[in-house]
Amino acid sequence: MRLPLIHHPGYTFDWPERHPFPMAKFPALREQLSTLGFDNDPRIDWIAPTPPSSTQLLRAHTPEYLQTFYLGDSDPKARKRSGFPWSPALVERTLLEVGGTLATLTAALETGLACNTAGGTHHAYPDAASGYCLLNDLAVAAHEAMTVHGINNLLIIDCDVHQGDGTAYVFRHDPRVFTCSIHGVDNFPFTKRHSDRDIALPRGTDDAAYQNVLAREIPALLDQRRPALVLYDAGADVHANDRLGHFELSLEGLYRRDLFVLKQCRQRDIPVAAVIGGGYDRDLTALAERHAQLFLAARDLLCQP
């Protein structure tokens, strides 16, 4: 089995150093994976994505919002909701990120498992940005899976510490997509949307408690839904030292979570397209190490019978 990994140097650009969103984590993660031997592993295929087409974006977002996305929003409230200072460079990197998740989808359908070194922008709505998310890459990829690949039974497993409210809203009336969000009960967004399955956990949730939830929820959900595809948001913001997380998972807990989810899917021959989700720390080395657990789990899964 080969493991496609999707990355583009355009995932980052010049960015205010003290901005709360650590844009530099993307090259830091790529460097960390190189240090861990991913460049020299013959089983790894590195893929550079291209931006999505307007047709692909319009399946998940309104024309009016896409015009605002491309040209910039003059409304201060809208800019505050996104959390980002608009610029053409920001538009370009956001498009590459969505293109990366689309490439991850295509590769996962071909090989069974693929991972994007970005993605997981689950707070974006069809007509609005929110919480550092301008476009919803998961929603765009899900629509691509349904429209282009004919997949009519799709499961989104969102393990970011923040609820995937935008994704839940997009597919609230679409029975083809089942949304499952495991998140912090008291964390952003403070007005939650209804996923098809919401598991809201308290502050201080640790490795053992989190793993117990996974063991109870994930196998049962896969067996009940029997999806033809899983989109997996592996947010690293569940780590104990994340600035915005409030959970107490260790590095080992992150690895065990990702290995468990990926293995449960692959044991049932369900293709998995994984994205890295949230992670917030000014220590980029530590943050890259947390995000790297997804890729270590995926690589180790190749070695298991």
Cβ distance 35 to 123 under 8 Å?
no
pLDDT at residue 305, as a whole number: 63
Bridge partners of residue 274, in order along the sequence? 115, 232
Question: Angle, to 10 degrees, between the axis of helix 207-225 and the axis of helix 251-267?
Answer: 10
pLDDT by residue, tens only, the chain of 305 residues? 799 999 999 999 999 888 999 999 999 999 999 999 999 999 999 999 999 999 999 999 999 999 999 998 767 776 778 888 889 999 999 999 999 999 999 999 999 999 999 999 999 999 999 999 999 999 999 999 999 999 999 999 999 999 999 999 999 999 999 999 999 999 999 899 999 999 999 999 999 999 999 999 999 999 999 999 999 999 999 999 999 999 999 999 999 999 999 999 999 999 999 999 999 999 999 999 999 999 999 999 987 76
Secondary structure letter of residue 296 according to DSSP = H
Residue 75 has what pLDDT?
A: 73
Q: What are phi and psi of 160, to 5 degrees?
A: -60, 150
Q: What is the CATH number of the domain that holds 125?
A: 3.40.800.20
pLDDT at 9: 98
Q: Residue 74: its pLDDT value, please?
A: 65
pTM listed for this prediction: 0.97
The candidate with the shortest Cα–Cα distance to 274, out of 1, 3, 2, is: 3
Domain count, the chain: 1
d(C-alpha 192, C-alpha 131), whole Å: 13
What's the one-letter identity of residue 178? F
Strand order in the sheet with 44-47: 44-47, 3-6, 113-116, 272-275, 229-233, 154-158, 177-184, 197-201
For position 125, what pLDDT does the model report?
A: 98
pLDDT tens column, 23-77: 999 999 999 999 999 999 999 999 999 999 999 999 999 999 999 999 987 677 7
E strands, 32-112, are: 44-47
What amino acid occupies position 21?
F
Q: Please report the pLDDT score of residue 189 as a whole number.
A: 94
d(CA 123, CA 111) in angstroms, rounded, equals 28
3-state secondary structure at position 233: strand
User: 4 in helix, strand or coil?
Assistant: strand
174, with CB counted inside 10 A (0-12, 13-18, 19+), is middle
Question: Which domain covers residue 166, as residue numbers?
Answer: 3-303
How far is Cα 155 from Cα 142, in angstroms, rounded to an integer? 9
